[in-house]
Amino acid sequence: MNESPLIIKVNLISSGERGNILSSNIKYDQINVRKYHYFLLLGLIQKHKRISRSKLAELTKMSNTSVGKIVKNLIEDELVIEVGQTEGEVGRRATILEINPKGSYIIGVEIELNTINVALVSLNGEVIVKKHTECDMKQHPEDVLDLISEEIITLTKQSGSKVANKIIAIGVSMPGLVSWPEGKALMVPQFHWDNVEVKAYLERKLDYVVYVDNDVRTVLLAENLFGSMTDFKDCACLYIGSGVGGAVMVNGEILRGYRNTLGEIGHITLDPNGMLCDCGRLGCLQTFICSSEIEKQTQRSIHEVFNAFEQGEDWAVRMINRARKYLSLAISNIVCMYNPKAVLLAGPMVQEFTALVEGVEALSNEHIWSPLKNSFQLIQPKIGENTGVIGASALVLNEFLRHTNNEI
């Protein structure tokens, strides 16, 4: 398998230093430090969107000379461009830098219950082109992965060799339990998949590195890199759709847990004598707030339920108020466990039915432990309909931006 363009670039920027490598028992050799600083500056430029060299030096405590050399490399590698100068400053104006949207690309793949979305995404989170394909996920998993491979190959051919040669890697966002970093779909009840080697299979079919993760984590990553969560290093996501999922970020890092299942909040027990969940247990959180459970309990579509709520029908008001109550309990529990500065409320139930989250922040503060009252914000998603493919690309970008942190 070929190395990705970005890894090749890093090797090139440090090739002139190879003769000066210190003995292998020295932890911080020059090559790794240069690679670290290269990605550090790239990450800061991505985060701030528009920033000057002097501001980069101020943030990193690096010398202006060192920053200038690394920025020169980033510009030569076509990852960063100059876009004008600051205005209104006394004396010399500073040149502004931003990510080059045409410098490198990522293939983002979103696997849903009945559809596959494949998109070419720029480093600034812009969807360049997107392909939507209907697919029966209950067929053999290899048939689905073959279809995904074909869609990716078609997309790269249509994009042309100049663009295809700048593709860093492929990111895949999907529901269910997914191992990390192996990228195996351990269990996806919606698809009837068990222990499917998604990453390994796609890497055999395609000449790219592939990253695979749970869709809730990719939503949080997307909003953290490109959307409404860019200002928060300590945050969480509560995703509500046909089921309920969660994700947590501490100091800018996604928390994964022993089996990469940290955040499966939909299956915490809130009432041991409650209703039967699809998982076979009683009183799971999702039995109170997800669309499939509300539909099952009311024998009506979720749209009918919310229409009845808007019209003030008693049964619907009680159902939605109960959902709000348990949603607020979930939020207060998340805040007590992880102490996030912000909680992202995402998913179809949040985006389509805003009545579900009205007044929930105040309710959460009623239930929460008093020292943490008003310590967090509830945030709505910003990205919208392309969250899946942008989240999949954010998974790739996040790994490359932290690439050297694991090596040093």
**Run of H or E including 41:** helix 30-48
Q: What pLDDT does 25 receive?
A: 39
Mean pLDDT of 358-377: 92
**Run of H or E including 377:** strand 377-379
Mean pLDDT of 78-97: 76
Q: What pLDDT does 403 receive?
A: 54
186 lies in the same domain as 295: no
- 259: CATH: 3.30.420.40
113 lies in the same domain as 207: yes
241 lies in the same domain as 369: yes
Q: What pLDDT does 14 receive?
A: 42
Q: What pLDDT does 376 receive?
A: 94
Task: Using the 3D structure, point to which of 54, 74, 99 is the last residue of a domain.
Answer: 99
Question: For the chain, what is the domain count?
Answer: 3
91 lies in the same domain as 124: no
Q: What pLDDT does 31 receive?
A: 66
Task: Using the 3D structure, point to which of 67, 99, 131 is the last residue of a domain.
Answer: 99
| Host domain of residue 130 | 105-220+387-406
Contacts 24+ apart (CB under 8 A), 18-27: 27/408
Beta strand 210-214 pairing with 167-174? parallel
Beta strand 377-379 pairing with 342-346? parallel
What would the pLDDT profile of 285-341 be if each residue is shown by its tens digit?
999 999 989 999 999 999 999 999 999 999 999 999 999 999 999 999 999 999 999
